[in-house]
Every structure is written in C-alpha cells, then in structure tokens.
C-alpha cells in the first residue's frame, strides 16, 4: 500500500490560538513571527498560524492582561514588539489547558463510539 503524501500545514483550530500563544510564551518573550514559527516547529509542521489571526489574538490577550509587550531590537537589528506572559496569563493558561483537555476527552469519547 502506498503511503499517503504529507498533509499541508493546517490552520490552527478556532479557539485554540490563545492557548497556543500563552503556552509558547512560557518559554521566553517572543515577537509575533517568532511565536508563529515556534508553534509550527513544536507541532512538527502540522499547525500553521495565520498572521491575520495571530496579531488580533495578541491584541486581545494584551487587553485581557494575560500578556505584556515591549519594543526590542531583534537579532537582525530590527525593531519588533516582544510579548511576554503575565502572572494573570499563567493562571489563564492553566484554566484554558484544563478546558481544552476536557474538550478533547469529550470528542475522543464520541470518536470511540462504534
């Protein structure tokens, strides 16, 4: 049997982007492009973060007080806004993670029905 060709990267599922951004920022402060690349790297190329979705999500998370931003110079000597996780963001990450795991478990239960 011939193996299936690799699937192209999928857009991040609706409702998961905030969770993925918060989790990614537990590693270190990053600029938007770095966040996008890190998510793609950790998902082994399965997830692709659309820039048109990422920046509104970053604004939303900052308005909620879950992330903070500061301008810094990148390794390429360019100015970029770096985002970091706040204490409130760490708490929100815990709650969002619990909610996601409940959701995945519920979907899994349905998929197991024969």
Q: What average pLDDT does the chain have?
A: 90
Which residues is 30 bridged to in the sheet? 83
84, 29 Cβ separation under 8 angstroms: yes
Can you tell me the distance from the alpha carbon of 91 to that of 95, in angstroms, rounded to the nearest whole number? 7
Q: Give the per-residue pLDDT at 96.
A: 94
Q: What is the mean pLDDT of residues 23-48?
A: 96
H or E, element range at 87: helix 87-111
Indicate if the pLDDT at residue 11 is higher than 60: no
Q: What is the mean pLDDT of residues 53-68?
A: 97
Indicate if the pLDDT at residue 47 is higher than 70: yes
Structure tokens at 3: 């193996």
Question: Hey, what domains does the chain have and what are their CATH numbers?
Answer: 12-111 (1.10.10.10)
Q: Distance from first CA to last CA of the chain, Å, rounded?
A: 25
């Amino acid at each position: 049997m011939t193996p299936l060709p690799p699937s192209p990267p999928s857009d991040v599922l609706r409702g998961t982007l905030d969770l993925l951004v918060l989790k990614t920022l537990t590693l270190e402060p990053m600029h938007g492009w770095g966040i996008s690349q890190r998510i793609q790297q950790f998902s082994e190329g399965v997830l692709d973060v659309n820039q048109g979705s990422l920046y509104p999500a970053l604004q939303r998370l900052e308005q909620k007080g879950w992330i903070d931003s500061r301008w810094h110079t990148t390794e390429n000597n360019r100015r970029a806004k770096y985002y970091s996780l706040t204490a409130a963001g760490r708490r929100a990450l815990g709650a969002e993670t619990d909610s996601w795991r409940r959701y995945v478990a519920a979907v899994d239960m349905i998929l197991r029905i024969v």
